[in-house]
Chain A
Amino acid sequence: MAGDHVVIIGNGPAANEAAMTLRERAPEFRVTIVGREHVRQYKPHLLPALVAGKITEEDLFVRSIAFYQHAGIKLRLGQEVVDVDFDTRRIILAHKEVLRFDGLIIATGGKPRIPEPLLVFQDVMMTLKTLTDARSWIDKLARVDCVLIVGGDLTSVAFAKTLVSLGKTVKFMVDEHGFWPLHLGDETRQEVARRLASGGMELVPCRKLRGLARLSADEIRVETDCGRYTVGAVGAFFGLVPDVRFLVRSGLYIEKGVIVDENLMTRYDGVYAAGDCAQVYHPTLRDYWVSIGYRNAENLGRIAALNLIGGKVRAETAPESIFHVDGVDIPTSWWAEI
Chain B
Amino acid sequence: MGRVDVTMEVCGMAGDGTIAAGGLLNEAMSAGGFSVLGFDSYPAEIRGFGRCVTRSRVGTERILALVDKTNVLISLDDVQSHSRVPYLAWDAAVFFDSNPPVYVEEEMSLAARVEPGATLFAFPMADLAAAAAGTMRGRNLTALGGFAAAFSVPRDLFIEVIAKKFKAKGSRVLDANIKSFDAGYAYGLEHFSDRLRDTLKPPPGIKTGPEKVMLSGNLAIGRGALDAGLKLYFGYPITPATPIMEYLAARLPEKGGRVVQMEDEISSVGAVLGGFYAGARSMTATSGPGFALMTELITHGVMAEIPAVILNAQRGGPSTGLPTKTEQSDLHAAVFGGPGDSPRIVIAPTDVEECYRHTVMSFQLAEKYQTPVIVLTDFYLDNRVENLPMPQATESEIADANEYPDESVRGAYKRYLMTDSGISPRSIPGTEGFTFSATGLEHVEKGTPNYTEDNHMSMTEKRHRKIAGALEDLPAPVEYSRGGPLDVGVIGWGSTFGAILEAVNIANERGLNVGALKITSIFPFHGGVIRAFMNRCSEVLIPELNYEGQLANLIDHLHHKDVVRLSRATGVPISPSLILKEIETLALAGA
Contacts and interface: CB of A to CB of B under 8 A. Distances in A.
Q: Do A and B bind each other?
A: yes
Interface of A: 38, 40, 65, 68-69, 75-79, 92-100, 132, 136
Interface in B85-113: 90, 96-100, 102-106, 109, 111-112
B483 interface: no
Contacts, number: 60
Given A38-B119, A96-B100, A96-B103, A65 B90 contact: yes
Contacts of A76: 111-112, 116
B104 A96 contact: yes
Given A75-B116, A95-B100, A97-B105, 15 more contacts: A38-B119, A38-B194, A40-B116, A65-B90, A65-B117, A76-B112, A77-B118, A78-B118, A78-B119, A94-B98, A96-B104, A98-B105, A98-B106, A99-B112, A132-B194
24 contacts: A65-B115, A68-B116, A75-B116, A76-B112, A76-B116, A77-B116, A78-B118, A78-B119, A78-B194, A79-B120, A92-B103, A94-B98, A95-B96, A95-B99, A95-B111, A96-B98, A96-B99, A96-B100, A96-B104, A97-B105, A98-B105, A99-B112, A100-B105, A132-B194
Contacts of B106: 97-100
A76 B113 CA distance: 9
Nearest to A5: B106
A103 to B, nearest CB: 15
Nearest to B105: A98
Given A40-B116, A76-B111, A79-B111, A95 B122 contact: yes
Contacts of A94: 98, 122
B193 interface: yes
A97 B116 CA distance: 17
A224 B118 CA distance: 44
A78 B192 CA distance: 11
A38 B120 contact: yes
A98 B99 CA distance: 13
B109 A97 contact: yes
B104 A97 contact: yes
Contacts of A95: 96-100, 109, 111, 122
Nearest to B119: A38
A59 B239 CA distance: 53
A64 B97 CA distance: 29
Nearest to B96: A95
A336 B188 CA distance: 40
Contacts of B193: 132, 136
Contact of B120 (A65, A68, A78, A98): A78
A78 B118 CA distance: 9
Contacts of A38: 119-120, 194
B103 A98 contact: yes
A270 B299 CA distance: 78
Contacts of A68: 116
Q: Which 10 A-B pairs have the closest CB atoms?
A: A75-B116, A95-B98, A78-B120, A97-B109, A95-B122, A77-B116, A96-B103, A38-B119, A98-B103, A38-B194
Contacts of A77: 116, 118, 120
A185 to B, nearest CB: 39
B119 A97 contact: no
Interface in B192-223: 193-194
Output the residue of A38, A96, A98 with the most chain B CB within 10 A.
A96
Nearest to A100: B106
Contact of A97 (B90, B103, B117, B194): B103
A65 B117 CA distance: 7
Nearest to B193: A132
A287 to B, nearest CB: 38
A76 B111 CA distance: 8
Contacts of B119: 38, 78
Contacts of A78: 118-120, 194
A97 B120 contact: no
A93 B104 CA distance: 10
Contacts of B112: 76, 97, 99
A138 B387 CA distance: 37
Nearest to A79: B111
Interface in B102-142: 102-106, 109, 111-112, 115-120, 122
A40 B90 CA distance: 13
Contacts of B120: 38, 77-79
Nearest to A33: B116
A248 B589 CA distance: 65
Contacts of A40: 116
A99 B113 CA distance: 13
A136 B111 CA distance: 26
A94 B193 CA distance: 16
Nearest to B115: A65
Nearest to B106: A99
Nearest to B101: A96
B190 to A, nearest CB: 13
Contacts of A98: 103-106
B208 to A, nearest CB: 30
A93 B111 contact: yes
